[in-house]
Amino acid sequence: MLGTGDMDCVYHFALYELQETLQELNMTDAADMLAVMVNGDRLKDISDLPLDLAV
């Protein structure tokens, strides 16, 4: 458990760039933790916000 508490989801303005940068810098631990948050729908790109609000 990551201890996210009541947090539902956070939108990041440069998520794809962050993922790419972590890969380029070979920061595998950070990339793995980021992937856990993204795959668990805890962290999304800001471009997803309008679609999520429309539902």
Q: What share of the chain is helix, strand, coil (3-state, %, to 5)?
A: 55, 10, 35
Average pLDDT of the segment spanning 2-17: 81
Neighbours of 24 (CB within 10 A): 8
- Asked whether the whole model's pTM tops 0.85, one would answer no
Could you tell me the residue ranges of all domains in the chain? 10-54
> Which residue did the predictor score with more confidence, 5 or 39?
39
| Confidence at 2, pLDDT banded by 50, 70, 90 | low
What's the start-to-end Cα distance of the chain, in Å?
28
Q: pLDDT at position 3, please?
A: 59
pLDDT > 90 in the chain, percent: 75
pLDDT digits (tens, 9 = 90+) for 18-40: 999 999 999 999 999 999 999 99
